[in-house]
Structure 1
């Protein structure tokens, strides 16, 4: 029986820029490997007020005394990278793709709150384009769960893209048509996304991945221009939803469809559902979606679809 590596205990958040540099110089085997349970924990952490102010400014959130719904993802991301940079993790971090995000807020967090953060990864699953794995995050205040997330990453592997596509809709255009019906009564809001959006969000988040900064550095990784951070797009959408995103308990699900090149003109749309949920999407001028998701009122720990460690065991205390 294999023994899980010890929990990585941190006294302060790791530097995201330093973790990206570690990822750039790390060497990992090209072949697939097992993903063991890896955990990192940060106790007694208070978000940086300056970073919060920069985040509000670039995403459009008001300074209302509370953390925006999506902000915990920002201070959790350096912990995620610290996990994926551990020698036990089998894949190269650079090149992994953020494909989905599912987060729950159980109550609004005051901006000066003292928090404990636990993040972990374990296992993977085979998909058409390679391997998917889930990064789990649990945020507590005073030992009580207040925010959680599942961040799904894709690692492309050679030869996987050519396998037969299974469980694919009969027509991609049919799926697009269903989305268009959903947003048929929505009033489109045009956005102009400036060329410096990636650099501004990098200052707020610490994510200085070169694909987001300049066209020149993005071309080194196969992009014609720099691309916006996916979580900037999600944060901007949540800020645009106003009061709907200010409820105490919320669930937000997001799917990243294709990169948003900088600069761009895009369209933001929302559609209120009968149950009070708000569907949203950001689409390009050619009609193809960049991000699509749903904001739902309510969140309960009972319906968590993640393996939450017990506070008496590996959980945060």
Structure 2
């Protein structure tokens, strides 16, 4: 892969303004670009960090929540998808999962470098998936690796068959929390995180992209679930699998279950009993 140093991180609003041009992408033999975008010397914005913490009930401590770092860096990853050599349409991509490894949390005042690339273009029953990978580096040391997996519906990979996956029947555990999310949840989070994807903003804009109505941001759901359980020291990892969208407005039931290494968090539709996501957090040092 070749590295390309960039001088600024674009806003998500500017990324989505340009994303319309990617709608016509229908590659016959898609290949992901071999490019790494690098931004050096990133730092937290104190005001934005405070907004983030308040929005998801994260503690007011001296380290950065992993998903605040993700929100700061993700526009750079999205800008990779705007490039002419990226084969998939940005608008309408479905967020399937995140996998995050934190070797040591970042301090509020630390400067860090951001490196982003794409990999793992894979056939899926509904299209093709790929990973956007964000690497956070401080003075040559890897501090975080944040991986997001997205589905591009309808994209076919030649000579590639999707791997069949079986999902066990969901049985709701004992509820330990409940969230009431109103129809403005997506718009408020967009102001905090800068993610103005139309599928989250209103019923009208979401339906134009094939959704039943506006859906909650996956990152908001993950950040809120992590708000009270993410460690402030040591090394740890977490992953989340999104199963069905949270269509706004919504009532979400949750179960936070502690185990020997961390937590398992399940969230599901309060009335229908269908799962929304499962998050697992594990610490490797205490």
Q: What TM-score comes out, normalization by structure 1 length?
A: 0.82
- Please state if 1:255 is matched with 2:249: no
Structure 1 partner of 2:78: 81
Q: Which ranges of 4 or more aligned residues in structure 1 deviate by more than 6 Å?
A: none
Structure 2 stretches lacking a partner, 5+ long: none
Structure 1 partner of 2:113: 116
Q: Deviations over 1:70-107 (max 9, x none)?
A: 21110121011111111111111112111110001111
Task: Compute the displacement of 1:258 (Å).
Answer: 1.2
Task: Compute the displacement of 1:225 (Å).
Answer: 2.4
Structure with the larger strand share:
2
Q: Deviations over 1:9-59 (max 9, x none)?
A: 112211211111111133423534111322110001112222212211211
Structure 1 partner of 2:39: 42
Structure 2 partner of 1:293: 279
For the residues of structure 2 that align with 1:252 and 1:168, how far apart are their CA atoms? 21
Task: Compute the displacement of 1:284 (Å).
Answer: 0.6
Contact 1:54 1:203 in 2 (8 A): no
The SS at the match of 2:191 is: helix
The SS at the match of 2:209 is: coil
- Please state if 1:279 is matched with 2:264: yes
For the residues of structure 2 that align with 1:21 and 1:217, how far apart are their CA atoms? 14
Q: Deviations over 1:241-288 (max 9, x none)?
A: 3xx533431101100111111111111212222x32311111111111
Contact 2:128 2:156 in 1 (8 A): no
The SS at the match of 2:51 is: helix
**Does the C-alpha gap of structure 1 residues 266 and 121 become closer, same or farther in structure 2, counting only changes over 3 Å?**
same
Structure 1 stretches lacking a partner, 5+ long: 300-317
The SS at the match of 1:175 is: coil
- Please state if 1:197 is matched with 2:185: yes
The SS at the match of 1:240 is: coil
Q: What TM-score comes out, normalization by structure 2 length?
A: 0.90
**Does the C-alpha gap of structure 1 residues 165 and 158 become closer, same or farther in structure 2, counting only changes over 3 Å?**
closer
Q: Over alpha carbons, which structure has the higher Rg?
A: 1
* Number of equivalenced pairs: 281
Task: Compute the displacement of 1:159 (Å).
Answer: 7.7
Structure 1 partner of 2:5: 9
Aligned-pair Cα RMSD in Å: 2.2
For the residues of structure 1 that align with 2:163 and 2:139, how far apart are their CA atoms? 45
Structure 2 partner of 1:176: 170
Q: How does 1:303-314 map to 2 (within 5 A)?
A: none
